[in-house]
Each structure stands twice: as structure tokens, then as C-alpha cells.
Structure 1
Amino acid sequence: MTIKLALPLSGPEFGSYSKNDVLWLLKNLSQYNLEGELEEREKDIQSGKRHYSETLPIEYQPDEAYVNLFKNSLRETNVKLARAVAKVAEKIIKIFPEQITLISLARAGVPAGILLKRYINQYYPERDVIHYAISIVRGRGIDENALRFILKERTWQTWAFVDGWSGKGAIQKELKSALKKFFPSIYTSNSFISDLFVLADPGSCTPYYGTREDFLIPSACLNSTVSGLVSRTVLNSLIEANDYHGAKFYKNLKETDVSNYFIDEITKFFKQSQASPTSLPTWEGWEQVTDLAQEFNTTINMIKPGVGETTRVLLRRIPDKILIDPDKRQYTKHIELLAKARGVQVSFRHLTGYSCIGVIKNLRSEVD
């Protein structure tokens, strides 16, 4: 049976980014009420009653102090982040000599993909570059319909998968497993790259990174209001065989949207740079997370390392505790602010590679 695939979504009909910045290979679920109360949603996820992709967390609406912290962090890290974008973009330019197909993993990967596309368009205007956003779900794989659509439009030799940062490397593992399943005959080809291109790789999971420093990428501070007003992706009974994974467009948050402001501010600081020598991944982040899971008598999935992942724990999960490296507190101001607001315990200890680590509260005993 031939599957008829929908055309990509784009702003302003879906999301606040322009069509030139990103094409969303998603199903619009804006009309559905998919958000659940935080603690009940967490219990359902941990008990196995529902997969995390079946519902959405309620979008956190920051107060003025937190928004000001986002803007301050943007001023403090704009040059560092622009250099990371330049480094990754220069690597992409060298690997893909003609066409470039950026495939960002929605939604944290989308701002990174847009920045990479903006850089390439600015410094290499002769390159044929296009940017798609698709969904990947931990434990359920990648959106194969989205891959089928891209495969009709662009040869697989031009594909570069993009995310904002690495945590412990779970999505990197998920991506490799999903692509091996989808492309069994060409997965081992020297022309096929299944590693992620990320702006920050504190977990040392990929050879294609802008930096391995675990600093605050300001887009991690917020949710949809720095990601084109698009929710995280959804995979539930609303998604039929010929659909892409779904997401919502939060038009009602337009007044607080800083998505394009963030992109424009980083773009101002682009400078061409030579890509430094690539070092091989060590996966030291995964090893540290494994040790912490044993120490706290929990599972690896409940340990979320790095500034970006720790922020997510505080914004949309039930945190148990936060670990912060005392030598890297310049990158964790917003973490400490959020933890204080939510009454979450903060402990200071030296960490390998990461500035901070979030631990999700185990609610299984309450469920059981």
C-alpha cells in the first residue's frame, strides 16, 4: 500500500519561524487538549500506564525575573554560542560539498538547525541547503514517514541530523538504532552519517560538536516560546499510519514568544572559524550517569545530565534533587532560581564534564 504523505507545515500557519528557516514534518494537533497535570502525568509515565510521548506537560510560564535571566544569559553566552554554531557549520560544509539537508530533532534541535542554516546561507550562499524538523521518541524510534518524505526530496548522502546538545547520549543511541532499522542496507556506508551534529556535547557522545563545555544554551531556558511556539512532539492514538508524529502550535503564547529574537541575537555574532580537530567520543557522560543511578538506587532514565536536560527536569518533570558543580555556577544561575522556586534540594559536588545533573523523583512507590 502506498502511503500518501502530507506536505510540511510552516509559519505563520504553524509556528512562529519563517518558511525559509524550517519546514516542520509534523501533524498539527493544536485543536486537541493533550496537556496533563504534572504529578499525575509523571506517575503515569513512571508506572508505564502511558508513554511520555502520549501527552504533553503544561507549558511553564516564567515570571519577569526568569525572563530577565534568559536575556542576561543570552548576552553572556552569545559569542560562545555563535562560535559553536560556526564550528559545527564549518564541519558540515566540509563533509557535504554540494547539497546539505539539515534534519533537526524537534524541538530542542530546531533552534540549532535554524542557526546552522542561517550561518551557511550567510557565508556559503552558493550551497543548496534545506532544513526539516522531525520527531524522534525515546523508546519508540524516529518518525519513519518523515524520513520517507525527505528521501523523496533529498538524497540520503546529504543528511545531517541536528540537535541542540547531548545529555548522556540516549537520543544518539535511539537515532542510530532507528536509522539502522530504516536503512539496513546502507547504514554501514561511509557516506551515511548517523551521528548527531550538536552545538554542545558535554557527554562526549558524538564527533560532530561545537563545544564539549556544558554551558547554558539560552534556548534551554524556555519551552515553546523559544522554539517557534511549537510543543514537544506527540505519538499517540491520534497519529494514524500515514501521519507524521504530532505537535501543537501555541498561538496563545505569541505575546511572550522570543523564538526569533533568540535566533537574531546569536546571528549577530557569527564569525567564520576554522573547525578544530575532531576528538573521538569517550561516552564518559554515560559512565557517570550509570554510577549515579546506582548511587541513588534509580534507573538511568531518571538521571538527566547537563544544563539543558536539568532545565527540562525543572520545567516539566517532578525533580528529586539537583547536583551542581561548584566550579561551574556561572552556567547554573537559572537552575538555582528554578530549584528555589520549586523547593527542590540542591547539592554541590564536582562532576565530570557536566555543570549540573537533574534527578527525577521516583514516584513508583506511590503508584505501586
Structure 2
Amino acid sequence: LRDRQALDRQLPHLAARIASVVRGRVLLLGTEELMYVPLRLAGAMAGLGTDIRSSSTTRSPAVAVDDPGYPLRTRLVFATADGERYAYNVAPGRDPSRRFDTIVVVTDAVGDGLLDALSAHCDSVVVVPIPSYVPGPLPSPLRGPAFGSYPGDEVSWLLTDLSDVELEAPTEEREEAVQSGGAHYAESLPVEYVPSAAYDALFADALASSADRVATAVGVVTELVLAGRARPVLASLARAGVPVGILMRRWANWRHGLDLAHHAVSIVRGRGVDTVALRWLAAHHDPADVVFVDGWTGKGAIVTELAAALREHSVATGQSFRPDLAVLADPGHCVRTFGTRDDFLIPSACLNSTVSGLVSRTVLNDDLIGPGDFHGAKFYPELAGADVSATFLDAICARFAAVRPDVEGVLAARAGQEVEPDWSGWAAIERISTEYGIDSVNLVKPGVGETTRVLLRRVPWRILARTGAGADLAHVRLLAAERGVPVEDVDGLPYTCVGLIHPRYSRGASGADGLSASGADGLSAG
């Protein structure tokens, strides 16, 4: 964005300067993927009255036929350090009226082969060099206690520290901006939820009652990861994956004496994985050893986002990471490496930064994050009095010895079983979207963890709860009551609960609580 704005400012000056040194019929020629700047320059020069065309070289060979009815009339072939390249319809062929008087080459890497090939077919060649982007030194990771409340050896954060930047906005304001298309959710942060005394007590009860279940899932998923890689590198998806990655690291150390490397990386829906973080991982580890870690799956959106981003990164850089995602709970049935497929309360899902090392969720804002920067996040040391990050980790680790037989039993029972993803969660979400008249599955958040996020960060419309879900939903019901959100019991719901974000939210039409200002169900809004 900043580069585009700089080009917009300089374009009139550049176009006028180039126009002053060309004459006659002009071709503005880009080189391969460098097409945007030449096209913009050609448009600006045409506005100055220049007789101009625009084209680009290519690495793709094609047959040229010098016939008026054929689109590729002529072909120039020239050598580069990377092999032969081609320029079509640059030479005039048999029609002298097609000859260019001046050819302007806009490029970030020009060789003698191209210039020699062009000079035989025009009166003059003008070269306009564009500085190419060369990745600079990789940034350094952040570590506690300078960033985050976790000890420095537990995790390195591949993030940019934005702690001094005011990024928080009211939930309703953010929701309206996101749904209107005026902003991406990752460009700002929600105001951090400060739990009430009742909610703190509920978290403590949930931790006590679910510690064995979480510890068992930690043991199972860690053993599965270790079975596939002798010494894996854990890359937790910030933020929810980080406590899970630390627990997996601790299990590997307790059970096998391993000291696994652990890093936190950012992934943003619609934007992919932080490519600078991927470059850092590849520079310090074998990409084949890296295992991406998250807390749970919902409908599987992050699973598909991760796979697509890693494919794109591999094509661009040759650095091939495995697209596997390891999670504690996979109620969406969309990964192969999981501790359980039950949709149950993982206590770390109850809170935001105060159970995740006092670190915000990640930020990707072009005004703050440059092309060589990690994605960003904030550290909230002022919330230290409410920090239960260590409490959560220690409570789970204290149960490792007790659940070891259970872990071994689960692994033995699962041996030889079919655990391929069937994406049944996604199919269920599509049915719910249709039933409730919601035209975007992005507004349907299945599972205990995702429903909790809806209540903490978004404008919830209603909560669907599986009839008889019990204690796993105590914190959801409390949060819903605090925000005035209705909870609807549903028989046969495939998840323990599903959070529905208001599907047509605007503060004027819907009211600040996300419900219809007129008291209706809210679908009439907007």
C-alpha cells in the first residue's frame, strides 16, 4: 500500500520525464511479472498525448504468424541468465506501420540480450530501471519477559512488537467496519476482555474439572507428532496455539527428555501465514521438521488457509513446509493429527491475553507492518494482575503422570483406525447457515473455542447449544448473559455449541448489542 501511494505521487513526474525523451510511436515494455508500473506509466503518458502501447516480455514460448488476423504477429527471442525469454508484437514484421520509433524498457533486471534484440527494431531504446525488492536481514524474534509473560525459553514470538500503538477499537465499531468491507479484522484489535470475579471463578472450576482431559489430549497429540518426526520444531499459530505448543513441548521434555524448539507465528484468514516468519523458520530449521500447532478446529477455515499459504510459499521460494496441523481437539474432523475429536471446553479458550502470555492476537496492518516485518501483536503487562497463563500450564502439566496410562490407551486404540478428515463439520455449518439465513459461513463459528471467541471479540447474534451440553458451556452461558445474547438449545447439534455473529450488523440498524434495535431477531437489519 505504501509503495502504491508513493507511485501515485511520483507518476505524473515520471511520465512527463519519460515523455520528454521519446518520440513517435512508443512501446512501453515491462519485463515478465513487472507489469503494473509499465501499465500505469503508459496510461499517464497517453494522457500527455504520447502515441503509446504497453506490453511485457514473457518466459512462455508461443507460435507467431505474421498475418493480420493472428494475435501474435512477431516473436523476439533473447537470452537471460535464467534461459530464453520472449517478446511478442515488438518487431514490425512485414507491416512497417507497426514499427515503434522508441521502446521504453521498464525493468528491475535488464540484460544485454534484451537490449540487443530490441535495438534492431526501433530508432532508440530507453531504459527505466525500477529498484527491485531484495529481502533484507530477517528480524529477530521476541521473547519474554520483554515481550509476553512466558519465560524466554518456552516460546519465541516471530512477531513485531506493536505495544506502543493504539490499535484497540470498540467491538461494535470493528464489526461494522469488517462487515461493510471497510476494514479487515486483522487491522485492529478488540478491547481486551477483563474477566469478572464470577468468570474468574468459572475459569478455575473449568480448569480443575478438565485438566485430565486436556492433559490426555496433549499427550496423545505430542506422541503422534513425535512418531512422525524425530525432533520436530513446533510452530504454534498465535495466539490460541501458543499455550498448546508450550504444553506439547513440556510433555516431550517430561516423557522423552527432548528440548523442542518452539516458535509462535501469525496466520490471518484471507491473508495467509506470515511469509517473513516462514522465511525465518526455513533459515533456522529444516522446513520438513516444522509442525504447525493450534488449539482446536472449528469448521476448518484455518486448515485450508494454512495449506493454501504453504503451497504459495513453496512456489515462490522453494521452501516446502508440510501443511499438517496438530491440534488438541478436532471437532470439525478436518485434520489427521489431534488429541481428540470431542468438542469440549479447553480452559485456555475461556480468556484472551490473560491465558496466552499477555499477548494480543496478531495484527496485519499495512500502515504498521512493512514487507520485511513479522506480523504484529501487543504485550499487555498492565494486565499482569489477572494473568493466569502459568496457572493454566502448571495445572495441566501436574496431571501428566496421572494420565499417562490414558494416553497410551488412546494411542493403542487408535492404531490402525481410519482418522482421515471427512470435513463433516464444514457440512454441518453450511446446513446451519442455510437454516438461519446467514449468507456467509465466516459468520458461523462452531465449537466451544470459537463460540467463546465470538462472545469475547465479535458482535454475537445468538448462541446455539446442544441440548444437555452441561458444564462445558457454563462459561458460554455466563458470557452470553453478560452481553445479553440469547442461547438456543438445539437437539442433535453436531458441536457442543455454535456462535452466530450478527449477519447484517450495523449499529444504527441493529443496536449496540447486536440485536435488532426494534427487538426483532435482527435479520431485518440492513
Corresponding residue of 2:296: 165
CA contact (8 A) 2:287 2:322 kept: no
Question: Using the alignment, how far apart are the partners of 1:173 and 1:209 within structure 2?
Answer: 16
Deviations 1:137-180 (A, max 9, x none): 00011100001001111101111100000011000010000001
Residue type at the aligned position of 1:95: G
Deviations 1:182-216 (A, max 9, x none): 11399998xx5312100000111101000111000
Question: Using the alignment, how far apart are the partners of 2:505 and 2:244 within structure 1?
Answer: 35
> Per the alignment, in what secondary structure is the counterpart of residue 135 of structure 1?
strand
Q: After TM superposition, where is structure 1 displaced by more than 6 Å over at least 4 residues in a row?
A: 185-189
Residue type at the aligned position of 1:124: H
Change (3 A) 1:359 1:268: same
CA contact (8 A) 1:143 1:245 kept: yes
TM-score, scaled relative to structure 2? 0.67
Q: Which residues of structure 1 form unaligned runs of 5+?
A: none
Q: How many residues are matched?
A: 364
Corresponding residue of 2:376: 246
CA contact (8 A) 2:217 2:328 kept: yes
CA contact (8 A) 1:30 1:247 kept: yes
Asked which structure has the greater CA Rg, the reply is 2
Question: Using the alignment, how far apart are the partners of 1:319 and 1:224 within structure 2?
Answer: 20
CA contact (8 A) 1:329 1:355 kept: no
Give yes or no for the alignment of 1:223 onto 2:352: yes
Residue type at the aligned position of 2:347: P
- How do residues 58-77 of structure 1 correspond to structure 2 at under 5 angstroms? 58-77=191-210
TM-score, scaled relative to structure 1? 0.96
CA contact (8 A) 2:467 2:492 kept: no
Residue type at the aligned position of 1:233: T
CA contact (8 A) 1:324 1:355 kept: yes
Question: Using the alignment, how far apart are the partners of 1:75 and 1:93 within structure 2?
Answer: 28
Change (3 A) 1:187 1:215: farther
Corresponding residue of 1:325: 466
- How do residues 193-342 of structure 1 correspond to structure 2 at under 5 angstroms? 193-236=322-365, 237-271=367-401, 272=404, 273-274=407-408, 275=411, 276-277=414-415, 279-298=419-438, 299-342=440-483
Q: Which residues of structure 2 form unaligned runs of 5+?
A: 1-133, 510-524
CA contact (8 A) 1:219 1:262 kept: yes
More contact order relative to length (CA 8 Å, sep ≥ 6): 1
Please report how far the alpha carbon of residue 364 of structure 1 lies from its aligned counterpart in structure 2 after TM superposition.
4.7
Deviations 1:90-132 (A, max 9, x none): 00111112x210000000000000000000011111x351000
Question: Using the alignment, how far apart are the partners of 2:172 and 2:442 within structure 1?
Answer: 17
> Per the alignment, in what secondary structure is the counterpart of residue 129 of structure 1?
coil
Moved more, 273-282 or 286-295: 273-282
> Which residue of the other structure, out of 220, 241, 245, is the alignment partner of 1:87?
220
Change (3 A) 1:325 1:169: same
> Which residue of the other structure, out of 49, 52, 60, is the alignment partner of 2:185?
52
Change (3 A) 1:185 1:58: closer
Please report how far the alpha carbon of residue 241 of structure 1 lies from its aligned counterpart in structure 2 after TM superposition.
1.1
Report the aligned-residue RMSD. 1.7
Moved more, 3-12 or 68-77: 3-12
CA contact (8 A) 2:460 2:485 kept: yes
CA contact (8 A) 1:219 1:227 kept: yes
> Which residue of the other structure, out of 137, 146, 159, is the alignment partner of 1:26?
159
CA contact (8 A) 1:179 1:187 kept: no
Give yes or no for the alignment of 1:101 onto 2:230: no
Deviations 1:282-322 (A, max 9, x none): 11110010111111221100000000000011111111000
Question: Using the alignment, how far apart are the partners of 1:155 and 1:136 within structure 2?
Answer: 20
Question: Using the alignment, how far apart are the partners of 2:392 and 2:194 within structure 1?
Answer: 17
CA contact (8 A) 1:109 1:163 kept: yes
Question: Using the alignment, how far apart are the partners of 2:501 and 2:492 within structure 1?
Answer: 18
Give the fraction of aligned pairs with identical amino acids, expressed as a percent: 48
Question: Using the alignment, how far apart are the partners of 2:492 and 2:147 within structure 1?
Answer: 40
> Per the alignment, in what secondary structure is the counterpart of residue 359 of structure 1?
strand
Moved more, 156-165 or 263-272: 263-272
Deviations 1:44-89 (A, max 9, x none): 0101100000000000111100000000000000000000000001
Residue type at the aligned position of 1:37: P
